Structure 1
Amino acid sequence: MVCIQIEGTIVAPNEPTNWDPKNPRIWLAFYNISKVLFHGNGVIDGSGSKWWAASCKKNKTNPCKGAPAALTIDLSSSIRVNGLTIQNSPQMNFVIGRSDSVRVTDVKVSCPGDSPNTDGIHITESTNVVLQNCKIGTGDDCISIVNASSGIKMKNIYCGPGHGISIGSLGKNNSTGIVENIVVDNAFLRGTTNGLRIKTWQGGSGYVRSVRYQDVRMDNVSNPIIIDQFYCDSPKSCQNQTSAVEISQIMYRNITGTSRSQRAMKFACSDTVPCTHIVLNNIILQSIDGTVETYCNSAAGFGYGYIQPSAECLSSSQKDIIQEKEADILTTTRTEHIIHTEL
């Protein structure tokens, strides 16, 4: 294995006009590499403050345009990243794209909570990825997983500030999104705008399935558990459409903490492509001030053990319950190998 050691601080140019307009999304990028270890106590600093100020999300009069990611690994396999700090990226901090067998351990990602589009670790078109012992604070999703990704395992993750741990968005512009075999095992989220989120646009196709969230604690999180098939990150209202990315076999086990919003659990699913096989086990979500509730629209599943707030709005017939218990076993079988697999 080739070792690349990073020490000290690597600092990006802080003036957006200094960047090559032909490659506006790239800073430190590695392509077509295999069996490489990135390690050390070094810091990768994207100097993103001027980019953030020019973002259309900061000021709607600004044009919306892409900005560099601090670190990108693409079209690669058998990669290890250990011990690095990535901070202040103009947009996404660390992108893993079109890669297989990637293990990221003891990595820290840091951006201000109001920095736009600064996803901490973004995974796209990748398989067999492990994120372990990572601390992420940023202005967008701490971890985002998008199309054509499977076999993703996150263990011992700290998230905050940020928008939580997200699958999606998927299905934008009537596209197909496929994500499956995902595990979040032991995470702590503090002060985030979302907790465990799956977000899809109307009009998409494909599926999200076999996802397990377990042993997750939340402190002062706005939307602790949320599935949103009506996601619309657009200045204009999104058109109602009947097709949707199908969401099924989603398990939440041992989820505890406090919610800033009344709807601690929200399953906002498509009327024509409902969410199915949602399984809840030992959920305790409380309000800092007041009561909390569960919202359901076209969502089927069941809960067992202690469930607070009640999730009786999940619709299931007896036949559905039997099928969902079978799906629970299937989800367990599909994801346990991720928990115990060492890359």
Structure 2
Amino acid sequence: MQAWVAACDFRGAARLLIPLGTFSVGPVVFQGPCGSPTPIVVEIKGTVKANTDISEYSSPEWFSFENINGLIVTGGGTFDGQGSQVWKYNDCHGKSNCQLLPTSLKFKTVNNGQVRGIHSINSMGFHMAINKCHNFRAQNLKIFAPQDSPNTDGIHISSSDSIKVLRSVIGTGDDCVSLGQGATNVLISGITCGPGHGISVGSLGKYQDEEDVRGVTVTNCTLSKTENGVRIKTWPDSPPSKASSFHFEDIIMDNVKKPIIIDQAYCPSSSCNQKPSRVQISDVHYRNIRGTSASENAVTIMCSPQYPCQGVELFNINLRPGGIKGGATALCANAKLTYGGTQVPPPCR
């Protein structure tokens, strides 16, 4: 931490190096604000392994970068969360109010930042979280955890604006990329996703006073053998909020169970109130999405009966059955839909 303090206080171009080698590290916070007029560079060359004694973590982060204007994390090194030693303590399956295990890399209130060329493997909880950031870019990342590892989202974005996730390979036990409340003006492009739960907006509507989500583009991505493709999910009986302006374009689905899905009754446990969701979803565009579906329902648009989805467009959808008998189908409820171009499966009527 002395090296970080020196780099942060330096008034010129500053670089912090983690050299080649393997290092065991407990929870650490890289705290700003810093004095440099140019971005601080944190260069990871070696392999950093997490301390897996959960009692050492006073907050659920391993490496946390906070309150920094101008940051580049790079170098080609590896963050190894050693999650296999602690996943047994995850009790979030079927329990809505659980404590998540530590996130490997958290960026909080980091403006004008980048993380690039980094490997993250076997996180205890999320691999990366971007929270309360502006103008932040994550690119050329390799993120991996086993398919059965719990809540190991690749990149989670919340309460942040002008975020780009680009040209990365992500395979985990949960969402490759997930967007929570307050995510605005987000571009996700060039992602290879799988295994995992796909690219998800949500879940939304779990808590009071959630910020709206708007302005999300997912393009030029390939999803392979994931549980979902591109998904929007909201909780039943939610407080009112809005989710709008989504563009899912030029996406390849390779044997994905639910390639296109809006689920406004999302409930991973059996204890949810079944009153309708009050998250208003609108202005959603699915264009040029093709490939194979591993389930009968290739398109599922199930919206709230109290707040039906508005302005959902499907244009040039070609999702054929992959290894299942019969043709793929579309299932829709409580949505105003428009169609154009190729429609496989046939449109909902």
Place the TM-score, normalised by the shorter chain, in its bin: 0.7 to 0.9
Aligned to 2:336: 300
More helix by share: 1
The CA distance in 2 between the partners of 1:311 and 1:15, in whole Å, is: 52
The CA distance in 2 between the partners of 1:76 and 1:43, in whole Å, is: 21
Could you say what secondary structure the match of 1:32 adopts?
Answer: strand
The CA distance in 1 between the partners of 2:98 and 2:288, in whole Å, is: 40
User: Which shows bigger deviation, 175-184 or 44-53?
Assistant: 175-184
Give how far 1:174 is off. 5.0
Decide whether the 8 Å contact of 1:177 with 1:245 is kept in 2. Answer: no
The CA distance in 1 between the partners of 2:106 and 2:158, in whole Å, is: 11
The CA distance in 2 between the partners of 1:165 and 1:252, in whole Å, is: 14
Give 2:343's aligned amino acid: I
The count of corresponding residues between Structure 1 and Structure 2 is: 307
Give 1:40's aligned amino acid: G
The CA distance in 1 between the partners of 2:211 and 2:71, in whole Å, is: 29
Deviations 1:19-48 (A, max 9, x none): 23x32x011001001111111110011111
User: Which shows bigger deviation, 148-157 or 48-57?
Assistant: 48-57
Cα 1:32/1:174, change in 2 over 3 Å: closer
Aligned to 1:133: 167
Give how far 1:2 is off. 1.8
**Which ranges of 4 or more aligned residues in structure 1 deviate by more than 6 Å?**
none
Q: Structure 2: which 5+ residue stretches go unaligned?
A: 1-38
Match of 1:110 among 134, 141, 144: 144
Could you say what secondary structure the match of 1:284 adopts?
Answer: strand
Give how far 1:186 is off. 0.2
Deviations 1:104-126 (A, max 9, x none): 11011111110001100000100
The CA distance in 2 between the partners of 1:249 and 1:138, in whole Å, is: 29
The alignment status of 1:209 with 2:254, answered yes or no, reads: no
The CA distance in 1 between the partners of 2:209 and 2:184, in whole Å, is: 18
Aligned to 1:311: 347
Decide whether the 8 Å contact of 1:224 with 1:264 is kept in 2. Answer: yes
Give how far 1:175 is off. 4.8
More strand by share: 2
Could you say what secondary structure the match of 2:86 adopts?
Answer: helix
The CA distance in 1 between the partners of 2:71 and 2:242, in whole Å, is: 32
Q: Structure 1: which 5+ residue stretches go unaligned?
A: 314-343
Give how far 1:176 is off. 3.2
Decide whether the 8 Å contact of 1:15 with 1:50 is kept in 2. Answer: no
Match of 2:298 among 260, 264, 276: 264
Aligned to 1:8: 46
The CA distance in 2 between the partners of 1:94 and 1:302, in whole Å, is: 36
Map residues 272-283 of structure 1 onto 2, 5 A cutoff. 272-283=306-317
Decide whether the 8 Å contact of 1:16 with 1:50 is kept in 2. Answer: no
Give how far 1:64 is off. 4.1
Deviations 1:282-321 (A, max 9, x none): 00001122211000111111110011101133xxxxxxxx
The CA distance in 2 between the partners of 1:94 and 1:9, in whole Å, is: 16
Aligned to 2:262: 227
The CA distance in 2 between the partners of 1:55 and 1:211, in whole Å, is: 32
The CA distance in 1 between the partners of 2:154 and 2:342, in whole Å, is: 33
Decide whether the 8 Å contact of 2:234 with 2:277 is kept in 1. Answer: no
Decide whether the 8 Å contact of 2:159 with 2:211 is kept in 1. Answer: no
The CA distance in 1 between the partners of 2:122 and 2:145, in whole Å, is: 5
Decide whether the 8 Å contact of 1:170 with 1:177 is kept in 2. Answer: no
Match of 1:185 among 206, 216, 219: 219
Match of 1:45 among 53, 76, 80: 80
Match of 1:124 among 141, 152, 158: 158
Cα 1:240/1:270, change in 2 over 3 Å: same
Cα 1:225/1:51, change in 2 over 3 Å: same
Give how far 1:82 is off. 1.1
Give 2:88's aligned amino acid: A
RMSD: 1.6
The alignment status of 1:36 with 2:71, answered yes or no, reads: yes
Match of 1:156 among 172, 184, 190: 190
Decide whether the 8 Å contact of 2:318 with 2:342 is kept in 1. Answer: yes
The percentage of counterpart residues that share the same residue type is 37
Give 1:84's aligned amino acid: I
The CA distance in 1 between the partners of 2:77 and 2:219, in whole Å, is: 27
Deviations 1:175-208 (A, max 9, x none): 5351100001100000100000000011221111
Aligned to 2:12: none
Decide whether the 8 Å contact of 1:174 with 1:203 is kept in 2. Answer: no
Give 2:336's aligned amino acid: A
The CA distance in 1 between the partners of 2:276 and 2:124, in whole Å, is: 36
Give how far 1:240 is off. 2.1
The CA distance in 1 between the partners of 2:113 and 2:163, in whole Å, is: 9
The CA distance in 2 between the partners of 1:275 and 1:6, in whole Å, is: 45
